[in-house]
Structure 1
Amino acid sequence: MITIYILAICFLLALSFKIKKTNMPEARLLLWYTHLLFACLSALCGLLLLNNWGFRGSNTEGVIFSLYAGTGMMLYGLSKPDTSARYAYLLCFFGFPVLLLVALLLPPSRYIALVLILGFLFTDEVTRHKIDSRFSLEAQSTGLFSYFYDYNIVESKLLLFERKKPDVFRTYSQFRNVHMSKTGKDSVHIQLECSRTTIDTTIALRNSRQSSRK
């Protein structure tokens, strides 16, 4: 939910700046460089995610993307209207939530807008269980319309990054109890109790070979 709070605060600040016609050139310049920084970080996040890498933390990428969009909204609020490409670029950040709110009021597009808004509000639920100082098991739902949980193995790499081994298994209900024990240097035994089933599996931490009993 932290991403929703960031976007909501940035949108309200941008709206306030625009209504009050705030003129702060120094703050606008600083915010522009901050926006460029988060734009570069967002591009880096995208490249890392394509290769199952990421920054450390279960929601770091979401915060970075939110700050990229949020600083764009605030820059729009501090900018004077003109016909430049930069102003049109900033308008996209502020205009998207406004467009959703307008669509919510119109009967033909109301249901589509409602689905999009709920999809943004109910973000993925992520829970991590530590295996050792380097590895952890991550359980991730897929948002509002999900009825299953995907489990990933997360390995801490270098200083700021981590690598995921995605979709090692899937459950169709939320887990209740998790028991894990290392069975060797590169494998872990996992017992997962769900409301509908019990999973007993051994997973290799550094390769895809896996044996399981359900």
Structure 2
Amino acid sequence: MKAPEIQALLWYLHLVFGCLALLCVLLMLNDYGFKGTQTERVFFTLYAGTGMLIYGLTKPDNDARYAYLTGFFGFPFVLLIGLLLPPLRTLTLVAAITLLSDSEFQRYTIDDDYALQTKTTGILSSYPVYSLVEDKYLFFEKIVPDVVKPKAALHSLKMVKKGEDSLRIQVNNIDTVIAIY
């Protein structure tokens, strides 16, 4: 397709969302994230979406940009080839299910600065992961995973802030106190 202005605009958007996606990965490695439960997913989706649009608009060529697009956004075709080859079929199915699995987030507010977040991934694990979310800085929050480890689905939850430095959490039949800084 001959639309150099659209391709240039998409490349710039793709680079912006690529930088934001890289920032999300660096933040997640350090237990931080952008505010909101789905913000990282939005950036990753917009990064992948602009890449797929550019891949569809770009004619095949022997340059580095097309090799980049083929490497990242031709991945569904790699999965299709993996399904056709019997030795790789099980590995490909596990990779595809992992990529397609969706998580359910739920946040329970403690006060203006803290919240308890549950993350349930139905395919991989039926038990939620409990994380403490602390409001930090302007656009970021600190996420401390696995603050409570019950091996059951959430039935009852009670939270009481005990002073400025601790929080009492009662999940199902588990009663625990965690320190907050």
TM over 0.5: yes
Superposition misfits of 4+ residues, deviation over 4 angstroms: none
Determine the structure 2 residue equivalent to 1:65. 44
Post-superposition Cα deviations, 1:1-28, rounded to whole Å, max 9, x if no partner, equal: xxxxxxxxxxxxxxxxxxxxx3322111
> 2: distance between equivalents of 1:62 and 1:105?
30
Determine the structure 2 residue equivalent to 1:149. 128
Amino acid of the structure 2 residue aligned with 1:110 = R
What is the aligned-residue identity percentage? 49
Tell me whether 1:128 sits opposite 2:107 in the alignment.
yes
Alpha-carbon distance, 1:129 to partner: 0.8
Amino acid of the structure 2 residue aligned with 1:128 = R
Q: Decide whether the 8 Å contact of 1:192 with 1:200 is kept in 2.
A: yes
Q: Decide whether the 8 Å contact of 2:101 with 2:121 is kept in 1.
A: no
Tell me whether 1:116 sits opposite 2:91 in the alignment.
no
Determine the structure 2 residue equivalent to 1:16. none
Determine the structure 2 residue equivalent to 1:86. 65
Match for residue 102 of structure 1 among 81, 85, 91: 81
Post-superposition Cα deviations, 1:61-116, rounded to whole Å, max 9, x if no partner, equal: 12212221221121111111110011100112221011112322333322221111
> 2: distance between equivalents of 1:102 and 1:201?
49
User: Secondary structure at the residue paired with 2:5?
Assistant: helix
- RMSD value, Cα: 1.7
Where in structure 2 are there 5+ consecutive unaligned residues?
Answer: none
> 2: distance between equivalents of 1:103 and 1:173?
36
Match for residue 200 of structure 1 among 156, 172, 175: 175
Alpha-carbon distance, 1:176 to partner: 1.2
TM-score between the two structures when normalised by the length of structure 1 = 0.78
> 1: distance between equivalents of 2:16 and 2:77?
25
Post-superposition Cα deviations, 1:157-178, rounded to whole Å, max 9, x if no partner, equal: 1221101122212122211121
> 1: distance between equivalents of 2:2 and 2:77?
22
Post-superposition Cα deviations, 1:181-204, rounded to whole Å, max 9, x if no partner, equal: 2111222211111xxxx1111111
Task: Count the aligned residue pairs.
Answer: 181
> 2: distance between equivalents of 1:54 and 1:60?
8
TM-score between the two structures when normalised by the length of structure 2 = 0.91
Where in structure 1 are there 5+ consecutive unaligned residues?
Answer: 1-21, 207-214
